[in-house]
Amino acid sequence: MNRHLPPKPPRRSRIYSIYAGAFVLLIVGYIGAVAYFAGFEPRAGWASVLFALLLLMLGGALVRTLKREAADEMDTLHSIMDGALSGGTRRMEYTDTPLSSFEQKILRYIELSSNQEQKLAAEQNSMKALISDISHQTKTPLSNIILYSGLLEEVPELRDEARQYVASIKEQSAKLDWLIRSLVNLSRLETGMIAIQAVSAPLMPTLTRSVSQIYGKAEEKGIGIEVECLPGVTACHDPKWTAEALFNLLENAVKYSDPGGSITMTARTGEMFVRIDIADTGIGIEESEWAAVFRRFYRSPRTARYEGVGLGLYVTRQILTAQGGYIKVSSVPGEGSVFSVFLPVECGR
C-alpha cells in the first residue's frame, strides 16, 4: 500500500526542476569549457561567470512569467466555470483563443443539459398528471362495484348460483383495486411523487405495524407469526413505507406457506446496519431465481397457482433503496425462505 509514501510533487513543478537542473549543468559546463580553453585567464573567467548569472536571471524571470501566465489561465478557467454554472453568462469577450473556445463549449454544454432537464421535468409532470387521473378515474367505479356487490350478496331471494357469481365479482374487483393501487404507488415512487423521509426511529413499532396488517390472513391459515426485537433497537427509516415494505414480505410468506406453518421476524443491530430477517416455512425459491424475484412483474413458474402479479418484492426493494437500505434472500426449495432487510443504523451514513 502507498498510504505512508510522501505525496508526489505536481507534474509541472517536476518539469521545471528537470529543466532548471539541466540549465545549470549546461552553464557550469560552459564556464568550465571556457576556463579550460582560455587557460584559466581571469578576465575570461569573470566574463563567463557574469554571462552565466545573466542567463540564470533571464531563465528565472522566464519561469516566473510562465508560472504567472499559468495561474492567470487557471483563474480565468475558474471564472468561466463559475459564470457558466451560476447563470450561463459569458465572462470574457469572444476571441480566437483556446480559452474563449473552451468557454463557448462549456456554455453550450450547460444549455443542452438545461434543455434536457426541462424536458425530463415536463415528462415527469405529465406522468404525474396521468397517474393522478388514473387513480381518480378508477377509484369511484371500483368502489361502487365492490359496494353494490356486497349489497347484492345480502339479497335474500338471490339464487345460490347467482350468489357465487356476485362473490366472484366482488373478489375480482378487490384484486383489481389492489393492482391499480399498487401500480399507482409504484409509479409515484419511481417518479418521485412520494417522498420517503428516513429518520432515526425505534424499529419495534414499524414491525408491529407491518404484522398487524397481515395478522388476519395468517390466522385464517393457522400460521403463527413471531417477532424478536429489543425495544431499544433503532434504525434510519421511514416508518410508514418501511412497514409497507415489510408487509409485502409478510404477505408473500403467508401466501406461499401451507396452513399450520410459521413465520419469524428477527431484528438485530450491527455496526452499520440493522438486519431484519423474515423466515418462513413456504415453498422456497430456487437459487437461480434469487436475483430475479426482485424484478418488476417477475413470477416464478412454481408460483403459477398462487395469486399475484410480481410487484411486491420490486416495490419493497425500491422503498428500501430510497432510504439507503437493501434486501437479499436465501432459500431452500420445499423448506422455506429467509428475506433479509438491511437498514442504516444512523441517518447520513
Average of per-residue pLDDT across 183-212: 84
Residue located via cell numbers 466555470: 81
State residue 269's pLDDT score: 93
State residue 264's pLDDT score: 96
pLDDT of 253 strictly over 90: yes
Distance of CA 224 to the CA centre of its chain: 36
pLDDT of 205 strictly over 90: yes
Max CA distance (Å), the chain: 136
State residue 95's pLDDT score: 65
Per-residue pLDDT tens digits for 267-314: 999 989 999 999 999 999 999 999 999 988 888 888 878 877 788 898
pLDDT of 1 strictly over 50: no
Do the Cβ atoms of 318 and 285 come closer than 8 Å? no
Return d(Cα 314, Cα 41) in angstroms, integer: 92
More confident residue, 129 or 311: 311
Average of per-residue pLDDT across 87-113: 69
**Could you say which DSSP state residue 195 is in?**
P
Of all residues in the chain, the percent with pLDDT exceeding 70 is 83
Q: If we measure between CA atoms, which residue out of 302, 332, 300, 298 comes closest to residue 315?
A: 298
Q: Hey, CA dihedral for 226, 228, 232, 236, is it positive or negative? A: negative
Average of per-residue pLDDT across 161-184: 81
State residue 287's pLDDT score: 92
Do the Cβ atoms of 99 and 91 come closer than 8 Å? no
Return d(Cα 200, Cα 233) in angstroms, integer: 10
Could you tell me the pTM of the whole model?
0.59
> Which of the four pLDDT bands, split at 50, 70 and 90, describes residue 177?
confident
More confident residue, 225 or 177: 225
Q: Which three cell numbers stand for residue 56?
A: 540564470
Q: Which three cell numbers stand for residue 202?
A: 425505534
Of all residues in the chain, the percent with pLDDT exceeding 90 is 34
State residue 94's pLDDT score: 63
First to last CA, the chain: 26
State residue 4's pLDDT score: 45
What's phi and psi for 86, nearest 5 deg? -80, -30
Do the Cβ atoms of 207 and 170 come closer than 8 Å? no
Helix (H) or strand (E) holding 274: strand 273-280
Please, what is the average pLDDT of the chain? 81
Return d(Cα 72, Cα 93) in angstroms, integer: 16
pLDDT of 56 strictly over 70: yes
Which range is least confidently modeled, 25-29, 82-86, 242-246? 82-86
Enumerate the β-bridge partners of residue 264: 226, 279
Return d(Cα 184, Cα 317) in angstroms, integer: 16
Q: If we measure between CA atoms, which residue out of 279, 284, 239 comes closest to residue 262?
A: 279
Return d(Cα 110, Cα 118) in angstroms, integer: 12
- β-strand pairing of 262-269 with 326-332: unpaired
Which range is least confidently modeled, 73-87, 223-237, 281-295, 315-329? 73-87
Select the highest-mean-pLDDT range: 73-82, 140-149, 165-174, 313-322: 313-322
State residue 288's pLDDT score: 92
